[in-house]
Amino acid sequence: MTGALSKKIAHLIAEGFKITHLNLNRSYTAFTAILGIIPVAYFLYVLMNANQKSQSVIAALSSSPYATVMLIVALLDVVCAYTMWNFKKIILQHRDVFRSVMIVLTTIQLLLGNVILFVVGLACLYFSKHIPKQKFVKFNQVKAMLGVTSISYLFCLAIIIKLLVH
């Protein structure tokens, strides 16, 4: 029963991707674009919020630690989007590199509550089967980006949790 249900769900998802003409390149580009656009929208939100309260942006961020941490997260999103855009050729040519990047970033976005990027990240991971598997690839710059941003994201997540608990 569960096997038949999971086959139907997989077929439904595959049909949905066909209808929307979604493929690996489009889903990766969408993930990168959303990762870069959301911080701009958040910064505009912070500006409008500060304007509404007749405060400077610095004063608004000083009064809200949560907004400050989320601004740091937004800046990390921009760094990740730029790195993904800059190393697109390397990432899209190697399945292990692609899956490493997408699993880490998709998981972090889910932990931070960014459901849109989580769904697009799952679509990217679905299409990763179309990337050829190669034996060895040196991707130190991408590893460095993943390591530094992952630690930074998790640090921000810990601060957010601490702010929500207190």
Does residue 12 sit within a domain? no
Give the domain extent around 130.
23-165
Taking 70 as the pLDDT cut, the residues of the chain under it are 1-2, 5-6, 9-18, 20-21, 135-139
Does residue 6 sit within a domain? no
Does residue 2 sit within a domain? no
Alpha carbon 30 to chain centroid, angstroms: 10
Does residue 17 sit within a domain? no
Q: How many domains does the chain have?
A: 1
Q: Which residues, in sequence order, are CB contacts of 111 under 8 Å at separation 6+?
A: 153, 157
Does residue 65 sit within a domain? yes
Does residue 108 sit within a domain? yes
Quote the CA–CA distance of 100 and 103 in Å, as a whole number. Answer: 5
Which pLDDT belongs to residue 133? 80
Does residue 1 sit within a domain? no
Tens digit of each residue's pLDDT (9 = 90 or more) over 109-124 = 998 888 999 999 999 9
Does residue 113 sit within a domain? yes
Given a contact cutoff of 8 angstroms between Cβ atoms, the answer to whether 95 and 132 are in contact is yes
Q: What is the DSSP letter of 130?
A: G
Tens digit of each residue's pLDDT (9 = 90 or more) over 84-99 = 999 888 888 888 888 9
